[in-house]
């Protein structure tokens, strides 16, 4: 482990460069992060693309739903600042086992293809399962991932309740919880950890909150500005 509290770059290093781009991920790597969080969707031609929103309008010169465009169409678009939408495979090539990759299953039906790619990178490209965390707010996607391959580390995202996340985590046999920082107290962090759960919290950007989360003893912090942790 590189840091006592694991440092994860959020959507790469969103605080510095356009989120979920190779350049943003490269920036996070330059900060020697322990991990990088990205979001994935399945596009109309079936590939997994790295993009946060369900629609193209906020972050690109395109419009409409990500899932209704082919990869070729998405690759002609410009992400704000002059970047391109990468695929999950592009991101894996760039990271090249240098840190953990936290893949958030954002879009529908993302579990099957994500698990296929993770398995391929473990079997054929020298990655280990522990180099990955697949997270999601969508219980169905996590359940699908759990059914497909029980070796891939899964994490339950929540902005509602730590205890509900733990209840669901039991059903998919994981001990990793990704709660929004506003849900955490020193007591619920201690209690969860005493029950064997790891807590990686998001999205923690200001120095006071970073310090508070460190004092709670969280296992990891996901931040737009990972160099501040
Ligand atoms: O994975 C943590 C965080 O990214 C979840 O929320 O909306 O930023 O994808 P969001
Ligand atoms: Ca995310």
- The pLDDT value given to residue 3: 75
Q: Is residue 22 part of a domain?
A: yes
Alpha-carbon distance of 33 to 27, in angstroms, equals 10
Structure tokens at 90: 């592009």
Q: Which CATH number does the domain housing residue 202 bear?
A: 3.20.20.190
Largest distance between two CA atoms of the chain? 49
Q: Is residue 59 part of a domain?
A: no
Q: Is residue 11 part of a domain?
A: yes
Q: Which residue has the tokens 């807590």?
A: 199
Host domain of residue 167: 6-41+86-228
The full DSSP string for 27-87 is HHHHTT-SEEEEEEEE-TTS-EEE-SSSBSTTTBS--SBGGGS-HHHHHTS-BTTTB-PPB
Q: Is residue 139 part of a domain?
A: yes
Please give all residues whose beta carbon lies within 6 A of any atom in ligand 1, as ranges: 10, 37, 39, 52, 104, 135, 157, 178, 202-203, 222
Residue 119 and residue 90 in contact, taking contact as beta carbons nearer than 8 Å: no
- The pLDDT value given to residue 2: 61
Question: Which of 196, 140, 145, 182 shows the shortest CA–CA distance to 132?
Answer: 145
Per-residue pLDDT tens over the stretch 110-132:
999 999 999 999 999 999 999 99
User: Ligand 1: distance of its center to the CA of 147 in Å?
Assistant: 23
User: Ligand 2: distance of its center to the CA of 37 in Å?
Assistant: 6
Alpha-carbon distance of 198 to 165, in angstroms, equals 12
**Nearest ligand by distance to the CA of 133:** 1
Structural domain total, the chain = 1
Per-residue pLDDT tens over the stretch 201-228:
999 999 999 999 999 999 999 999 999 9
Q: Is residue 56 part of a domain?
A: no
- The pLDDT value given to residue 67: 98
Per-residue pLDDT tens over the stretch 43-75:
999 999 999 999 999 999 999 999 999 999 999
Band (10; pLDDT cuts 50, 70, 90)? very high
Partnered with residue 102 across adjacent β-strands are 37, 133
User: Closest ligand 1 atom to the C-alpha of 135?
Assistant: 1
Q: Which residues contact 104 (CB under 8 A, 6 or more apart)?
A: 37, 38, 39, 40, 135, 136, 157
Q: Is residue 77 part of a domain?
A: no
Whose C-alpha lies nearest to ligand 1, atom 8? 203
Q: Is residue 100 part of a domain?
A: yes
Mutational test site, ligand 1, from 28, 37, 100, 201, max ligand atoms within 8 Å of CB: 37
Is residue 11 helix, strand or coil? coil
- The pLDDT value given to residue 217: 97
Average pLDDT rounded to a whole number, residues 178-185: 98
Q: Is residue 173 part of a domain?
A: yes
Per-residue pLDDT tens over the stretch 132-172:
999 999 999 999 999 999 999 999 999 999 999 999 999 99
């Amino acid at each position: 482990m590189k840091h006592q509290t694991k440092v994860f770059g959020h959507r790469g290093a969103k605080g510095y460069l356009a989120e979920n781009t190779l350049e943003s991920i490269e920036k996070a790597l330059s900060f020697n992060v322990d991990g990088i969080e990205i979001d994935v969707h399945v596009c109309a031609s079936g590939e997994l693309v790295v993009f946060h929103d369900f629609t193209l309008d906020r972050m690109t010169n395109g419009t409409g739903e990500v899932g209704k465009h082919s990869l070729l169409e998405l690759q002609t678009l410009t992400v704000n600042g002059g970047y391109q939408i990468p695929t999950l495979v592009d991101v894996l090539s760039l990271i090249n086992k240098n840190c953990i990759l936290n893949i958030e299953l954002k879009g529908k039906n993302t579990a099957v293809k994500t698990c296929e790619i993770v398995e391929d990178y473990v079997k054929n490209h020298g990655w280990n399962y522990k180099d990955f965390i697949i997270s999601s707010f969508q219980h169905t996607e996590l359940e699908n991932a759990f059914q497909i391959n029980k070796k891939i580390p899964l994490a339950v995202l929540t902005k509602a309740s730590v205890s509900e996340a733990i209840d669901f985590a039991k059903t998919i046999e994981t001990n990793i919880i990704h709660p929004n920082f506003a849900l955490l107290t020193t007591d619920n962090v201690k209690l969860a950890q005493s029950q064997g759960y790891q807590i990686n919290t998001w999205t923690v950007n200001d120095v006071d909150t970073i310090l508070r989360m460190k004092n709670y003893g969280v296992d990891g912090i996901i931040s737009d500005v990972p160099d501040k942790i």
